[in-house]
Structures are given as structure tokens and as C-alpha cells.
């Protein structure tokens, strides 16, 4: 029995909530919160991991491998969109008449337990903006519950189980998952073409965000980036409360002025709220894109009643999350950085930030494209995304959830990039990429391992 309309009251606390793939970053966080709230929790995963071990230490039994007998004590089964219908635990749940719900459905139901649930959405920047807001709310001692799609040093992982007032989570549009959420306040950072293995086109994506906006309750609000034309389209003619932010939109509710960048690419600026000077902010993460992320967070924090000094302290303490322009070390005097960017707009923003930091040095990058559908659909955008990179290597496409269709390859991408006067090369083996970059690294350079797959291993190999 599979359903989407779900309430936590439907869970029998005497029976297990069973998570299929409990070792995943989002699934483990939900399991953690439910366990702390007094529910019986169990799960399975395909391999041992630090996350699995940590769950066991909490008293959550985890089976390695998927088998129908694992769900024999379950009252409800939770799965992700990545789990196939023929998964033996899902099959067994169906045969036994056990309720099965998607992770997003459970998360949406959990949001109803909090007074002020906040959802951070957008094609890019969700993890960074969510992490920024976590720092701000923790600085204000507001005891937030946080779910973030990366490892945030402040909270020692990807989640913080706080009080029942403030709840902050990323809200991903893939498979329209965020339509199962129930935020009081939502942030929309940007809207672009992506996940075209699910969406038909950009208009389909915009319509999905429009539906997300329409779900906002009467006492809620949507915090929208008015610098982004597509975001403006998602909120135009909406009867919901819309709070705008931006650096280019002149009449935005929250905007930044007198923006200055230091040697490390970190911005310092004045925030104006509805035309009046409000705060002076210093960031410890680079790039203009992070100024916009900060404005979104300031608008949300202000809406939640956060003290201005706590907002300033929160930004000063935030130095990024793992895999978001994360400094890994140095080699031959060059800084090695790892970054999760995998969409052309993210790539441009990351490389632009790096370019402001190197001075006379060079920006050297190895990029691992992520999924065949994205690589094919956005091939022309990838062709011009690396203009701020001086030395570019592409390695094979990371398939993730997909199979190779034969329609696109990293060699194809190198060809279209080089048609735009860039000297990109294709290197298959990670060890060979590491050697290539080590030989070329010079003092003052920045070397970036870039992509959403396992490309970070190249940087780790170089630094060994």
C-alpha cells in the first residue's frame, strides 16, 4: 500500500518505522529524529558505513543487504525515489499490506510538528543557504532542527535535532519531491533547467515551482530572488506573501550595497531592508553568488525574529560546508579545493570566485560531469561555462542513477568546449589526472576538483 497523504499519527509506535537505504544522508537524518522522538526505528543498506555504525550506536538495528524478511516487524516502510519497485523489501511490504511512503512524504509530515518550518529551494545553492541559516539561528540560540544535504562542521554532520519551534530543510524539486512538504516559509534561490530526466523542459520546472508557491499557507511567505527572471515568473500573480531579495533588482525588499571583495574573494556589504540600511555583513565564503545566498538567509532570519547582531555573528562563523569550495590542502604551493558544482551556472560562479582569489596564479580544474541527461541537455551551456579556468581536464561522466545511452561522453564535451577557444583535455584515469595536475601546479594556483560524483578522490590522491 503506497500513499502520499500521510500524518505521523498514522504510525503505531509499537511497530518499526523501517528505512530502505537508511545509510543515505537524508534517510539517516530522518531516522535519527524519529528515534529521538520515541519511535521504533530500523533499516537496511547495501553496505557498511560510518553512518550505519552511528545509527547502530543510537540503538537502531541496520541490516546489510535488502531482503523481504527485514520488514517482518515493520508498521511502515520508508523509501527514496531511487529505490526500484522490485526492491525485495518494498515487494514484501506490498504483499503484507504494510504502508510504504516516500522519504519526502515522511519529511513533509514531520514538518507539521514544528511551529516555523522553513524550506530552502532552488536549482543551486540549497546546501550553502541552509547551512548559513543554521549558523545564524544557532548563533541566536534559537535551537533549530536542521536537515542539510552536506556535512556542516557546526552541527557535526548533516542534521541537528533541536527544539520543536524552528525547522530548516533543503527542498529539492527533483521528482517534484518538495510538493510533499509543508513549509510556513520558503526560499527560492534560483530556477534553471536541470533534472531533465524528470522534467520536460524549463517551463515544466517553472510550473512545478509555481505549484510549490501555491502551497504556501495564508500566514506564510515566499522569499524570492528577484534577480532571477524565472523566479519572478514562479511568483507573479501569486496571492501569497512574497518577500524579494537581490543585488540587481532595484526595489527588492532586501538588497546589498557597497559590496567589496577582499583578497580571498570574501564579500563585505551593507544590507538594506525596504530601502533603509539594516545590517553590515562580512562573509567568510567567496563569490558574488554567496552575497545573494546571504540576502535570502537574512530575509528568512528577519522573518523568524532573529536579532541583527546574531545574524552578523552567524555569517562570521560560517566558513562553508564539505564539498562547497572546501580547501583540502596544498601541493607545490598551489591550493587544492573541492567543489560540488555540476551545473553550468554553478561552475561559472565557482570559477569566477576562484579567479578573484588567484591574482597572478592560474585556476586549474578537473571536472567530472554528472549524469548523461544533464551532460547532453546542457552541452551548449557547458561549452561556455569554463571561461575563468586556465587549465581544464574532463574525466568520465559520473552515471549516478543512469545508464550510458551512447549519446554523449566527456570526449564530446571536450570537443564543444574547445570550439569555444578553451584548451580542455580528456583524461580517463583518476591517477593520471592527479599526476597531470601535480606536474603543472605552481605557487599561487588554485586546483579545483569539481563535480557531484567521486571526483574529490583526485585531490585526495594528489595530497597523499
Residue 258: Cβ-neighbour burial (10 angstroms; 0-12, 13-18, 19+): exposed
| pLDDT score, position 150 | 82
| pLDDT score, position 323 | 80
d(CA 64, CA 155): 27
pTM over 0.85: yes
Burial 201-210 (b: 16+ CB within 10 A, else e): eeeebbebbb
| pLDDT score, position 418 | 94
In the residue annotation, 352 being an active-site residue is answered as no
Specify the domain boundaries for CATH 3.40.1190.10 within the chain: 114-317
| pLDDT score, position 3 | 46
Specify the domain boundaries for CATH 3.40.50.720 within the chain: 8-104
Specify the domain boundaries for CATH 3.90.190.20 within the chain: 326-463
| pLDDT score, position 101 | 94
Query: Considering 51, 105, 123, 127, which one is annotated as catalytic?
Result: 127
114-317: CATH topology = 3.40.1190
Please list the pLDDT of the chain residue by residue as tens digits (464 residues): 444 468 888 888 889 999 999 998 889 999 999 999 999 999 999 999 989 999 999 999 999 999 999 999 999 999 987 788 999 999 999 999 999 999 999 999 999 999 999 999 999 999 999 999 999 999 999 999 999 988 889 998 889 999 999 999 999 998 889 999 999 999 999 999 888 888 999 999 999 999 999 999 999 999 999 999 999 999 999 999 999 999 999 899 999 999 999 878 899 999 999 999 999 999 999 999 999 999 999 999 999 999 999 999 999 999 988 788 899 999 999 999 999 999 999 999 999 989 988 888 999 999 999 999 999 999 999 999 999 999 999 999 999 888 898 999 999 999 999 998 778 999 999 999 999 999 999 999 999 999 999 999 999 999 98
| pLDDT score, position 82 | 78
Nearest CA to 311 among 118, 126, 142?
A: 142
d(CA 91, CA 98): 10
Tell whether domain 326-463 is in CATH 3.20.19.10: no
Query: Considering 89, 170, 173, 192, which one is annotated as catalytic?
Result: 170
In the residue annotation, 457 being an active-site residue is answered as no
| pLDDT score, position 359 | 82
Which CATH class name applies to 8-104?
A: alpha beta
Query: Considering 35, 126, 355, 362, which one is annotated as catalytic?
Result: 126
In the residue annotation, 218 being an active-site residue is answered as no
Burial 40-64 (b: 16+ CB within 10 A, else e): bbbbbbeeeeebbeebeeeebbbbe
| pLDDT score, position 1 | 41
Amino acid at each position: 500500500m503506497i500513499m502520499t497523504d500521510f500524518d505521523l499519527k498514522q504510525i503505531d509506535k509499537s511497530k518499526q518505522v523501517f528505512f530502505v537505504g537508511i545509510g543515505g544522508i537524508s534517510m539517516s537524518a530522518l531516522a535519527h529524529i524519529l528515534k529521538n522522538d520515541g519511535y521504533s526505528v530500523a533499516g537496511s543498506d547495501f553496505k557498511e558505513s560510518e553512518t550505519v555504525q552511528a545509527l547502530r550506536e543510537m540503538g537502531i538495528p541496520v541490516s546489510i543487504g535488502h531482503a523481504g524478511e527485514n520488514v517482518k516487524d515493520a508498521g511502515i516502510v520508508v523509501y527514496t525515489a531511487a529505490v526500484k519497485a522490485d526492491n525485495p523489501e518494498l515487494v514484501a511490504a506490498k504483499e503484507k499490506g504494510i504502508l510504504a511512503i516516500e522519504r519526502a512524504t515522511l519529511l513533509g509530515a514531520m514538518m507539521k510538528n514544528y511551529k516555523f518550518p522553513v524550506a530552502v529551494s532552488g536549482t543551486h545553492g540549497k546546501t550553502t543557504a541552509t547551512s548559513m541559516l543554521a549558523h545564524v539561528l544557532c548563533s541566536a540560540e534559537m535551537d533549530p532542527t536542521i536537515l542539510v544535504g552536506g556535512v556542516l562542521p557546526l552541527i557535526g554532520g548533516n542534521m541537528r535535532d533541536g527544539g520543536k519551534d524552528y525547522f530548516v530543510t533543503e527542498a529539492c524539486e527533483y521528482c517534484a519531491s518538495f510538493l510533499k512538504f509543508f513549509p510556513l516559509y520558503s526560499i527560492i534561490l534560483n530556477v534553471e533547467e536541470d533534472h531533465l530526466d524528470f522534467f520536460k523542459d524549463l517551463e515544466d520546472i517553472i510550473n512545478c515551482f509555481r505549484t510549490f508557491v501555491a502551497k504556501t499557507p495564508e500566514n506564510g511567505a515566499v522569499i524570492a530572488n528577484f534577480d532571477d527572471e524565472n523566479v519572478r515568473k514562479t511568483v507573479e500573480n501569486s496571492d501569497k506573501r512574497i518577500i524579494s531579495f537581490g543585488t540587481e533588482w532595484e526595489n527588492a525588499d532586501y538588497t546589498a550595497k557597497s559590496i567589496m571583495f577582499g583578497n580571498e574573494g570574501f564579500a563585505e556589504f551593507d544590507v538594506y531592508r525596504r530601502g533603509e540600511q539594516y545590517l553590515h555583513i562580512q562573509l567568510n565564503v567567496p563569490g558574488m553568488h554567496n552575497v545573494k545566498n546571504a540576502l535570502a538567509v537574512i530575509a528568512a532570519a528577519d522573518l523568524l525574529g532573529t536579532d541583527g547582531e546574531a545574524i552578523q555573528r552567524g555569517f562570521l562563523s560560517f566558513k562553508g560546508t564539505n564539498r562547497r569550495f572546501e580547501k583540502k590542502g596544498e601541493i607545490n604551493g598551489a591550493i587544492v579545493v573541492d567543489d560540488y558544482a555540476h551545473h553550468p551556472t554553478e561552475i561559472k560562479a565557482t570559477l569566477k570566485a576562484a579567479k578573484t582569489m588567484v591574482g597572478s596564479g592560474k585556476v586549474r580544474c578537473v571536472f567530472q560531469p554528472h549524469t548523461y541527461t544533464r551532460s547532453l541537455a546542457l552541452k551548449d551551456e557547458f561549452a561556455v561555462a569554463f571561461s575563468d579556468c586556465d587549465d581544464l581536464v574532463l574525466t568520465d561522466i559520473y552515471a549516478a542513477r543512469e545508464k550510458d545511452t551512447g549519446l554523449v561522453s566527456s570526449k564530446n564535451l571536450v570537443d564543444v568546449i574547445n570550439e569555444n577557444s578553451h584548451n580542455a583535455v580528456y583524461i580517463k584515469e583518476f591517477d593520471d589526472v592527479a599526476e597531470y595536475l601535480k606536474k603543472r601546479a605552481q605557487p599561487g594556483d588554485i586546483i579545483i576538483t569539481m563535480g557531484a560524483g567521486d571526483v574529490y578522490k583526485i585531490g585526495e590522491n594528489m595530497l597523499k
